Amino acid sequence: MSKALLSARPVRRFWSGVLALLLLLSLRTLGQTTSGNPILAGYQADPEMNYFNGTYYIYPTTDGNSLGGQFHAFSSTDLTNWTDRGVVFDLGRQTTWATYNGWAPSVVARNGKYYYYYTAHNNATNTPSIGVAVGTTPIGPFTDNGQPLLTPALSNNITQDVIDPMVFIDDDGQAYIYYGGSSGARMVVRKLNPDMVSLTNDAPRDITPQNYTEAPYLVKRNGRYYMTYSNGRWFDDSYNVQYSTSTSPTGPWTYGGSVLSSDAKRFGPGHHSITQFPGCDDYYIVYHRYQDKTYKTRQVAVDHLTFNNDGSIQKVNMTSYGVAPRAAGSACPISPMLVSGGLYKLTHKDTDQVLDVDNGSTTPGANVQQWTDNGTNAQRWTVTVQADGHYKLLNKNSGQALDVDNASIAPGANVQQFTDNNSDAQRWQMQAMSGGFYKLLHKGTDQALDVASNSVSPGANVQQWTDNGNDAQRWQFTLAEQPIVSGGVYRLTHKGTTQCLEIPSNSSSPGTAVQQYTDNGNDAQRWVITLMPDGYYKFTHRNTNQCLEVASNSTAPGATVQQYTDNGNDAQRWQIVPLGDGYCKIVHKGATLCLDVDNNLSDPGTGVHQWTDNGNDAQRWRLDLMPQTAGTTPLATHNAATTTAPLMVYPNPSTGRVTFVVTPTQTGRVSLDVYDVQGRLVRHLADAAGAAGQATEYPLDGTTWAPGVYTVRLSSAGQVTHGRLVLVH
């Protein structure tokens, strides 16, 4: 594989010395403890991770240990703290047919036992072969079967390199062993008998997918088989991971694309495994890589592996921070593909029935049911994250919230729509379950959004019921539209990472260059997005009046992106282009240059600039609408083509300087006033014409005002919206 795998574009210039100093000064401890990468001590390679009885185990090849004769295992209960369990299998001492060149173990649990498959040098034939040993615990002791399980002859000589075993047990109980590669670059599959140490009479099959070199690993998700494998040369930076899919565990395969490849800092990622946390749509990829272009220093890393809404695998951005702790019994997380502020269709699992308001009613208290998908607004819901991490679902047709009648916690309580009142009855915890479905739990209860009797009939009632894990409580979320709320507060997350667009140290200085950093929830990572009269957007740093800007309005690739005082020119205007998969590209006005992360790195503190649109993940951003701090009008309005908030106040709380963003829902006169806590008029800010959907900003300098809580009153075309301004000095 050529070095083109490194990056779609050349390594570009370093930031200036001043900026580098600023970045160094702004380095912080990550807000959440993570595993870090690498995760194992020493030089390890070819890792397979498994989850047995609440504990994670990694079985690697230990580089340079007794000429490859000894195999170690590592264990962890939380994915972050790993213990070397010592030598769990030793060639020569525990085998009679092989003494060295042991690598790439694969372990599977069945029949109350643990089966340890491994590659080793067959002394009798002078070729690599695959053996199997059996133990009663995940770390042995293992008793070898006494002879090779697989050899070139037992593979009908499809491959002479009988290496890299991987065992998969399908839902029907049939076990398969996949292996082979390198020089011959062929993948072979054989069926195993239920005893897991002998082969069926079925002939070996060549099922080699596109671009295959070695190290197969199979997972099954939502009825689809994903064959992932290494490509390139294991000893240089061409090494990478790709995948293909099928409706059968033995192919034929449809090529899917790249999963992992070298970047500007980390090289040769490959020979991996993929582990699903039981019951959740939560996957981890464990792989080896090296940082100095020397394969002899291979180390093991772990990162999240994410499936896109269409079932494809999202390319993994290698990280230095790894993953968050994940203990046995943990609740399933929210899928990173769920976009806050997105308009969704919710489909009951295994049916064509969607979450629907009866007869498209706009009346508070109207019943919610399931109904055949007909594409109407009564079956579309705006899903928005709240300050407490729960979600609110607003019906597009009515602006009414998904609500449990009388805030009941009883099983069988009816689910309806009701006026958005910010109560717990309208708040839902959403967990990403196996197969890409969601479970919605009523806040503070164990009651799940449920179709009565798991009916598949149109009109079946939707209720809450005790969480019991069945399909009646599983929902698929399909993104129908990604509206941008003018005046909304957004978090911008780089695709494939947890890194957000950020102002270093939350600076308010004009000219501060932007970077990416781990999401920590502060205002340095929050942006107010405002639709301007020309159809482009302005991104204003929430904590300042500084706008996202290309320095000097440059049209050059690599030009610095910074914050700067709002001056209304094209350097501060951006086009937002939703791509239909939950991500957007953000394009500088008057150019085809995109907001871009340097070299597509995932490292906290990596610079963000503009670059030629090349379609890769470095230029893809998820725009999540964050909790609003002002306004009482629902985000989803009746029959509105675009969801808008009529009044937005930022920053809030403020030390004095504040901006009011007014976006009328109807054309007419706009009046904006500020009152103190006793209801006295303090400032009349505006009395002007307003156009529906058109945002206007009104600045206020309140530095001389008394600290306290003020009420903001917006009157627009006969509609009144109230907000709150908090001043602190």
Active site positions, annotated: 46, 214
* C-beta separation of 411 from 446 below 8 A: no
Residue 197 CA: distances (Å) to CA of 105, 193, 410: 15, 7, 51
How far from the centroid of its chain's Cα atoms is residue 289's Cα? 22
Structure tokens at 588: 């500088």
d(CA 641, CA 629): 23
Looking up tokens 């995932």 gives 602
The SS3 assignment for 295 reads helix
d(CA 86, CA 463): 52
Residue 532 CA: distances (Å) to CA of 349, 536, 696: 41, 6, 8
* C-beta separation of 572 from 548 below 8 A: yes
d(CA 68, CA 70): 6
Amino acid identity for residue 23 in this structure: L
- Quote the strand ranges of 247-341, DSSP E: 254-260, 267-276, 283-290, 299-305
The SS3 assignment for 569 reads coil
SS3 content of the chain, % helix, strand, coil (to 5): 10, 45, 50
d(CA 696, CA 700): 13
DSSP character at residue 560 = B
Angle subtended at Cα 602 by Cα 624 and Cα 481, rounded to the nearest 5 degrees: 25
Looking up tokens 């907001």 gives 595
Residue 641 CA: distances (Å) to CA of 166, 342, 397, 443, 482: 51, 13, 10, 30, 11
d(CA 717, CA 578): 31
* C-beta separation of 115 from 107 below 8 A: yes
d(CA 17, CA 513): 12
d(CA 286, CA 40): 11
DSSP character at residue 607 = B
Helices (H) and strands (E) in the chain, counts: 1, 50
Amino acid identity for residue 121 in this structure: H
How many other CB atoms are found less than 10 A from the CB of residue 387?
10
* Distance, first Cα to last Cα, the chain: 60
DSSP character at residue 291 = S
d(CA 589, CA 87): 60
Angle subtended at Cα 599 by Cα 596 and Cα 600, rounded to the nearest 5 degrees: 65
* C-beta separation of 179 from 162 below 8 A: yes
d(CA 723, CA 674): 9
- Residues 6 or more apart whose Cβ sits within 8 Å of residue 129: 97, 98, 119, 120, 121, 122, 148, 149, 150, 151, 152, 162
* C-beta separation of 18 from 26 below 8 A: no
Looking up tokens 């395969």 gives 253
How many other CB atoms are found less than 10 A from the CB of residue 510?
16
- Quote the strand ranges of 33-69, DSSP E: 44-52, 55-62
- Residues 6 or more apart whose Cβ sits within 8 Å of residue 509: none
The SS3 assignment for 20 reads helix
Strand 488-494 relative to strand 224-231, pairing? unpaired
